[in-house]
Amino acid sequence: MVELIVAPAARADLLAQWDFYADEVGRPDLGDRFFLCAEATFKKLARTPGLGRPCAFRRPKAKGLRSWHVEDFPRHLVYYRPLPDEHGVEIVRVLHGARDLDAAFDE
């Protein structure tokens, strides 16, 4: 059985992105599509945890993380950690690639 854990910070990232699309862009439908694509990406990563590339962050919270883009949203990256024995993943953050990533992992 494959396990998928979505950390509270990742859930907050998804909601913040939805708010951006709805409020700033005026496209709540795009926010809905982002949610669906993120969910599909999470499931794909849970099935194949080695899919993404290893990350090299200095922050202790970010040790062992890998990244992969959100399907159809290539500038948004899913930062995740494979679970022991690669039986799934923990989704840690979902961030736009232009963010200050070190600062984001300090939050």
Domain parsing of the chain, residue ranges: 3-104
Percent of the chain beyond pLDDT 70? 98
d(C-alpha 103, C-alpha 77), whole Å: 15
In CATH, the architecture of 3-104 is 2-Layer Sandwich (3.30)
Q: Give the integer Cα–Cα distance in Å for 107 and 35.
A: 22
CA 71 from centre of chain: 11
At 45-87, the pLDDT tens digits run: 999 998 989 988 777 777 889 999 999 999 999 999 999 887 8
